[in-house]
Amino acid sequence: MAEIINPADVLIDIDVTELLPKVMEFKTNGYRISQACAAYINEKYELSYSFTDLNTYEFITLRVVIDVDTEVPSISEIIPAAVFYENEMKELFGVKIKMINLDYDNKLYRINAKAPLGPKEGN
């Protein structure tokens, strides 16, 4: 019978300033990005950057909770594969991400609405 590898997911809360060093650390430890996403909950952004190890199937999520106005550095310089995730967060949520490698400048999806998943303006 084949072995099952099913480690428990890990969630680490970090501060936005720790983001880049932490990501760098993951990268050097051989993790790669599995997903990155944002959520707008309680007037704050929750950014999740999930990393995974392909051999152990570990799944570690970095959670950054920030205010709407906080600027976030792009991790695409360290992890090029994050480009599309970051463009998406920027366009759909309005997260202020700086210096994305290939910045579509809110035209990845070219939607009419502005940051539809982010804070509702005017309400």
Partner 1 sequence: MFIVPFLICFPLVMAFLMFVIREKKLQAAIAYIGAAVIMAGAIVLFMQWLTNGSTRISLYGSEGMVDHLILAGELALMVLVTVLCFKYRKYWICLLSIIPTLAVAYYELTGPELKAMARVRIDTLTVLMVLIIGIIGSLIVIYAIGYMDGYHKHYKDVEDRRYYFFMLLFAFLGAMFGFVMTDSLLWLILFWETTSVCSFMLIGYTRTDEAINNAFRALWMNLLGGCGLSAGVVVFGYMTQLGSISGLVYQVVQNSDVYALLAVTLIAFAALTKSAQLPFSTWLMGAMVAPTPSSALLHSATMVKAGIYILYRLSPAMGGRATGTMIALVGGFTFLMASIMAIAQTDAKKVLAFSTISNLGLMVACAGIGKKETLWAGIFLMIFHAISKSLLFQDVGATENTTHSRDIESMHGLIYRVPKLAIFMFIGIAAMFLAPFGMLVSKWSALRAAVDERDIVVALLIAFGSATTAFYWTKWLGKIISPTHNVIHSEIKDITKPGENLSLTVHAVLMIALCIVFPFLSDTLVKGIVLDTYGSYAPVIPTMVLYSLVGIVVVVFLIPLIAWRIGKERKHNVKLAYMNGINTGTNTGFIDSFGNEKQLWMSNYYFENVCGEEKIMVPSQMVAIVAVIVMICMAIGGAL
Partner 2 sequence: MGKRSVIPYGPQHPVLPEPVHLDLVIEDEKVVEAIPNIGFVHRGLESLTEKKDWETMQYVIERTCGICSFMHGMGYITTLEKIFDCEVPDRAKYLRTVWCEFSRIHSHLLWLGLLADAFGFESLFYQCWQIREKILDMVEMTTGGRLISSVNKVGGVLKDITPEMEKVILSTIDTMEKQLLEIKDTFFEDYSVQARTKGVGVLSKEDAYELGCCGPFMRASGIATDMRKMGYCAYGDIDFEPIVSNDGDHFARCYVRMMEVFQSFDIIRQAFSKMPGGEIVLPVKGNPNGEAFVRLEQPRGEAVYYIKTSGKKNLDRFRLRTPTFANLPGLAHILKGCELSDVGLAILTIDPCISCTER
Partner 3 sequence: MGKVKRSPWLLHYDGSSCNGCDIEVLACLTPVYDAERFGVMNTGDPMQADILLITGSINSQNAEVVKQLYDQMPRPKVVVAVGVCACTGGVFKECYNVYGGADTVIPVDIYVPGCAARPQSIIDGIVKAVALFQERSDEHDALRKSGKNGRGEEL
Binding site for partner 1 (CB under 8 A): 104-105, 107, 110
| CA–CA distance, 19 with 99 (Å, rounded to integer) | 15
Which partner, partner 1, partner 3, partner 2, none, binds residue 112 by CB below 5 to 8 Å per kind?
A: partner 3
Q: Which residues 11-50 are close enough to bind partner 2 by CB under 8 A? A: 32-35, 37, 39-41, 46, 48, 50
**120 is a site residue for partner 3 (CB under 8 A):** no
- SS3 annotation, 58-100: CEEEEEEEECCCCEEECCCCCCHHHHHHHHHHHHHHCCEEECC
**59 is a site residue for partner 2 (CB under 8 A):** yes
What is the Rg, in whole angstroms, of the alpha carbon atoms belonging to the chain?
15
Q: Which residues 63-122 are close enough to bind partner 2 by CB under 8 A? A: 79-85, 92, 102, 107-111, 113, 116-117
In this structure, how many other beta carbons lie within 10 angstroms of the beta carbon of residue 44?
A: 14
Element housing 24 (H / E): helix 19-28
Q: What character string, x for contact with partner 3 (CB under 8 A) and - otherwise, covers 76-115?
A: ---------------------------------xxxxx--
